[in-house]
Structure 1
Amino acid sequence: MAALSAVAWAPGAVGTASAADGTADLTKVPRYATAPDATPVKGRASAADAPEIGKGTYTDSIERGEQKYYTVPLDARSTAYFSVVAAPPPGTKVEDHTDRLKISVQDVNGAICDREADPAFRGDGMAYPIADYATRSVDGDGSRCRSAGAYYLVVTREGSATSGPQAWPIEITHLSEPGLKDTAPTVPADGGPSATPPPPASGTKRKARGGAGFHSAGGVDTGLWKDRIRPGESRFYRVPVDWGQRLNLSAELPNAAGGTAEGISKALGVTAYNPARGVIDDDTFVFYDGRPAASRLFTAPVAYGNRFAVSDDVRAMRVAGWYYLEVTLHPDAARFFPQGADLTLRVDVRGTARPGPGYAGPAGDFSVRPGDREAAGKGLPGEQAGGGNLRTLGYAGIATGAVLLAALGSWTLLARRTAATATAAGPALSPQAHAAEPTRSGARAPGIPPGWPDRR
């Protein structure tokens, strides 16, 4: 029963989302869920004391006006991505555009390497997870930051005095993209049609399992999907997009049962991220007044040369792998959906998959691997689909242990019953007495050591 209760109240479960007055009860909205294997770390105000972080995921927190340094040793052969997620709890007071992070990778001289980022809130005063990345690249003609050595990840929180004063939890992920065997392509992909094509219009809706963070994001692929979302909640999904492919998406709210009312300017939004958790588009919030509404997204095709494009949304389509979708519903939507809203996702992965650019080493997270599309088609969350053989072995071990415990219990019960029966029939014989008893043939059975009972 305890396990069932844990499942029922796990992040992502949808129950009563608001009070009778139409105000969202944000205490019941799941908070951002960090990766369970993330390592706690404490960034420092001084580079001299900065803790070292390697590849993987880390957790920390940051105060308003605070700047934190982390030491990152880098080689000269791979591009490093450092994504940072800021996840203030639902209901935290934030100001659009002014409350934000600044993320950069710097060399030991304080020079900024390649791309820096400044993710900010855009949801009309709503607190929700925001993320983006800074990079240290080995591509291009510049010499800055191309050598191996020590670098710094620098994370700064900016904000106005009118926003919430509490610290924000942050999640840091360091991913590495191997260099290429040959010269890197420098031409961005052809953008294709300028008009957004319609996403899938018909088909059977499958159950999507939105997660509360990147790690637990539910898989989706081409087709129609349905889920539930609370006012004030953000749900995460992921879809495999290979080289040469692009993503066409629509996230939709239905009409409200009570009809139309005063509208919400930024009610529903979709923020799309690439496999390194870099923002593709984060300004897709749409108006809602009780009539059906949709937030749409249409990306460029994935191509290595996109990293040299002028437009940010094209540059983000630079690697293959799992692309992430964060769907957010404004707390004021409780006036239309007091018990939570039905959410429809129309997903279309367009284009034929092409060979990769020719990495000099394993592509890892920057590839669509065997089994990814199957996991997405089943709607499996990342925490279930992403563990590979180790996770399978873990589940198998748990199952085997359960079976052994059940067998042990049955064996113990049987032994007790046998002992009780023997006691009722007469005094039990010692091993020596058993050994003295003749067998039916008058001799001991072969293979029975002296002093042990012959139970033939």
Structure 2
Amino acid sequence: MRGLAALAALALPALTSAPSAAADGAPRYRTAAGSKPVKGAESAAEAPRLDRGQHVDTFRRGETKYYAVALDGTSNAYFPVVAVPRPGTKVEDYTDRLTVKVEDSGGTTCGSDGTAQFHSGGTAYPVADYAARLIGPGVANCQHAGPYYVVVSREGPLTSGPEPWAVEIGHLTEPALQGAAPSPSAPGGWSSATPAPPTDATTHQVLGGSGFNDAAAVRRGVWRDRLAPGETRFYRVPVDWGQRLNLSAELPNSTTPTTAFVPSALGLTVYNPARGAVSQDGFVAYDGKPAAARAFTAPVAYGNRAAPERAVAGMRFAGWYYVAVTLSARTAAAFPQGAALTLRVDLRGTPQAGPGYVSPAGDLGSPPGDDGTRGPAQGTGGPRTAVAYAGIGVGVLLLAGLGAWTVLARRAAARGTVPTVLPRPELPTDQQTTRASPRRPAAP
């Protein structure tokens, strides 16, 4: 029996991989596996080093923190920030925000600031944006290798909630190009008229993730999920060079006798692979009738980064694009048991050859599936599902090990000896990695 208990204890971490739930039942934002705690400094002289990857810090209203980075003189560097206030925190639209910028050691700002802010009529939800240090002939400042600083600030009025926000801070790199950069798209070179979303008769069930790190992978088609008031769910879609996203997030009619008008009820935000918001004004009103929030992006092109419009400039990489759908907490009267969500996903355009990078582009610029560590979208739950299947595989292997141990025990008993070591099943490499990686605690 002790052997069975030990096996159950080993299998349990692999099987209990869903994010922890908040008090209201909504899943907490899951930070990236392997993300590092970091404490930014008020002074650049004491700034901690921000290596590549994801990091987690906390910010109080009015705080500004510095982080030190060392950059080369050839690669583009992106620094996304994700603000994660607790569900139920009071936030003010536009004025409650997180800003990020990159400075060189002389205090020169590199490019434009990134601003993550709310558009929900007071509902707190994860918001993100980035600042970047770009290399190129059209960029005037910060073209040298050396020390730089990432400066993150939380701004907000006294009328908003005083609770600290968890903040995820990333450091991502896009390699240099082989040869000259592609030219920007000519103005008017593609249609901006929004086409009809998919109307497939077959629908797919999906469980959206709590954030970027566990976003559920979806492909073209019609998807069904369920949202609680005040909840945000994330999905990711593989978008290649030359392709564009056509999206529609839809609420049904309310079945309650009376439904109050909610001006910012349903939000749809599209983020690029660097977690930069392509569009932020996707909230629509709800009055008890069916409602839809829609988005139609520009085609993905390297030259888009030179465009003055944010909606075009953000479509600068091939890779996983993220779709965040938020249901306002003020819809609780209309949907006391949660709302059925319909997400229609369409990809327009023929995939094209991308620019030539001097090294593998990874998450920024590599179409999903080209990199052996990132497979194509499956549409059944992203990392949550992958870990669950890994857990099932581990359980099967452990049970096989138990069977082998039982056989050995019986044979040993016949010889008058008892084996003291349980045979260790050999796991495939990916499952070894899954079991060896500790679960990251949910952000506060």
TM-score surpassing 0.5? Answer: yes
User: TM-score w.r.t. structure 1 length?
Assistant: 0.82
Structure 1 contact 240–368 (Cα < 8 Å) conserved: yes
Answering whether residue 147 of structure 2 is matched by residue 182 of structure 1, we say no
How many Å separate the matches in 2 of 1:294 and 1:29? Answer: 22
SS in 1 for 2:404: helix
How many Å separate the matches in 1 of 2:252 and 2:12? Answer: 31
Give the root-mean-square deviation of aligned CA atoms.
Answer: 2.8
- Write out per-residue CA displacement over residues 31-52 of structure 1, whole angstroms, 9 at most, x where no aligned residue: 2111121011111000001010
Counterpart amino acid of 2:331?
Answer: A
Structure 2 contact 204–224 (Cα < 8 Å) conserved: yes
How many Å separate the matches in 1 of 2:406 and 2:163? Answer: 52
Answering whether residue 16 of structure 2 is matched by residue 11 of structure 1, we say no
Counterpart amino acid of 1:186?
Answer: S
> Which residue is equivalent to 2:24?
27
How many Å separate the matches in 1 of 2:402 and 2:143? Answer: 56
Identity of aligned residues (%): 51
- Write out per-residue CA displacement over residues 294-344 of structure 1, whole angstroms, 9 at most, x where no aligned residue: 100000000011000010110000010000011100112121111111111
Structure 2 contact 76–135 (Cα < 8 Å) conserved: yes
- Write out per-residue CA displacement over residues 178-235 of structure 1, whole angstroms, 9 at most, x where no aligned residue: 1111111231365522321011012311111200010100001111111111111110
> Which residue is equivalent to 2:427?
none
> Which residue is equivalent to 2:346?
348
Which of 127, 132, 136 is the aligned partner of 1:130?
Answer: 127
TM-superposed deviation, 1:251:
0.5
> Which residue is equivalent to 1:286?
284
- Write out per-residue CA displacement over residues 411-434 of structure 1, whole angstroms, 9 at most, x where no aligned residue: 325654x479x9xxxxxxxxxxxx
> Which residue is equivalent to 2:190?
192
> Which residue is equivalent to 1:158?
155
How many Å separate the matches in 1 of 2:130 and 2:319? Answer: 16
Say which one has the larger Rg: 1
How many Å separate the matches in 1 of 2:376 and 2:44? Answer: 42
- C-alpha change, 1:138 and 1:169, in structure 2 (3 Å) is same
Structure 1 contact 12–235 (Cα < 8 Å) conserved: no
How many correspondences in the alignment?
405
> Which residue is equivalent to 2:218?
220
- C-alpha change, 1:97 and 1:26, in structure 2 (3 Å) is farther
Structure 2 contact 368–376 (Cα < 8 Å) conserved: no
Structure 1 contact 12–210 (Cα < 8 Å) conserved: no
TM-superposed deviation, 1:288:
1.0
Structure 2 contact 360–366 (Cα < 8 Å) conserved: no
> Which residue is equivalent to 1:73?
70
How many Å separate the matches in 1 of 2:297 and 2:312? Answer: 8
Structure 1 contact 209–219 (Cα < 8 Å) conserved: no
- C-alpha change, 1:355 and 1:226, in structure 2 (3 Å) is same
> Which residue is equivalent to 1:16?
none
> Which residue is equivalent to 2:366?
367
- Write out per-residue CA displacement over residues 336-394 of structure 1, whole angstroms, 9 at most, x where no aligned residue: 11111111110001111000111111111121132799742443414556x9xxx9999
**Aligned counterparts, 1:237-316, within 5 A:** 237-258=235-256, 261-316=259-314
Counterpart amino acid of 1:300?
Answer: A
How many Å separate the matches in 2 of 1:194 and 1:369? Answer: 25
- C-alpha change, 1:289 and 1:7, in structure 2 (3 Å) is farther
- Write out per-residue CA displacement over residues 230-252 of structure 1, whole angstroms, 9 at most, x where no aligned residue: 11111000000000000000001
Counterpart amino acid of 2:18?
Answer: A
How many Å separate the matches in 1 of 2:17 and 2:362? Answer: 33
TM-superposed deviation, 1:153:
0.4
TM-superposed deviation, 1:58:
0.5
How many Å separate the matches in 2 of 1:394 and 1:201? Answer: 35
Answering whether residue 91 of structure 2 is matched by residue 94 of structure 1, we say yes
Counterpart amino acid of 1:108?
Answer: S
TM-superposed deviation, 1:143:
3.9
The structure, 1 or 2, with the larger RCO (C-alpha pairs under 8 Å, 6+ apart) is 2
Structure 2 contact 14–391 (Cα < 8 Å) conserved: no
Counterpart amino acid of 2:56?
Answer: T
> Which residue is equivalent to 1:318?
316
Answering whether residue 84 of structure 2 is matched by residue 84 of structure 1, we say no
Counterpart amino acid of 1:54?
Answer: D
Counterpart amino acid of 1:276?
Answer: A
> Which residue is equivalent to 1:335?
333
Structure 1 contact 188–304 (Cα < 8 Å) conserved: no
- Write out per-residue CA displacement over residues 54-96 of structure 1, whole angstroms, 9 at most, x where no aligned residue: 1101111111100000001111111001000000010001111
- C-alpha change, 1:382 and 1:352, in structure 2 (3 Å) is farther
User: TM-score w.r.t. structure 2 length?
Assistant: 0.85
How many Å separate the matches in 1 of 2:115 and 2:141? Answer: 21
How many Å separate the matches in 1 of 2:229 and 2:333? Answer: 9
How many Å separate the matches in 2 of 1:88 and 1:81? Answer: 23
SS in 2 for 1:113: coil
SS in 1 for 2:312: helix
> Which residue is equivalent to 1:407?
404
**Aligned counterparts, 1:429-444, within 5 A:** none
- C-alpha change, 1:314 and 1:44, in structure 2 (3 Å) is same
How many Å separate the matches in 2 of 1:143 and 1:396? Answer: 53
- Write out per-residue CA displacement over residues 241-283 of structure 1, whole angstroms, 9 at most, x where no aligned residue: 0000000000011112225522111111011100000000111
How many Å separate the matches in 2 of 1:12 and 1:301? Answer: 37
**Aligned counterparts, 1:388-403, within 5 A:** 399-403=396-400
SS in 2 for 1:119: strand
- C-alpha change, 1:360 and 1:371, in structure 2 (3 Å) is closer
- C-alpha change, 1:191 and 1:26, in structure 2 (3 Å) is farther
- C-alpha change, 1:81 and 1:9, in structure 2 (3 Å) is closer
How many Å separate the matches in 2 of 1:155 and 1:399? Answer: 46
> Which residue is equivalent to 2:138?
141
- C-alpha change, 1:287 and 1:9, in structure 2 (3 Å) is farther
Structure 1 contact 90–128 (Cα < 8 Å) conserved: yes
TM-superposed deviation, 1:405:
3.1
How many Å separate the matches in 1 of 2:61 and 2:314? Answer: 28
Counterpart amino acid of 1:140?
Answer: P
How many Å separate the matches in 2 of 1:72 and 1:394? Answer: 37
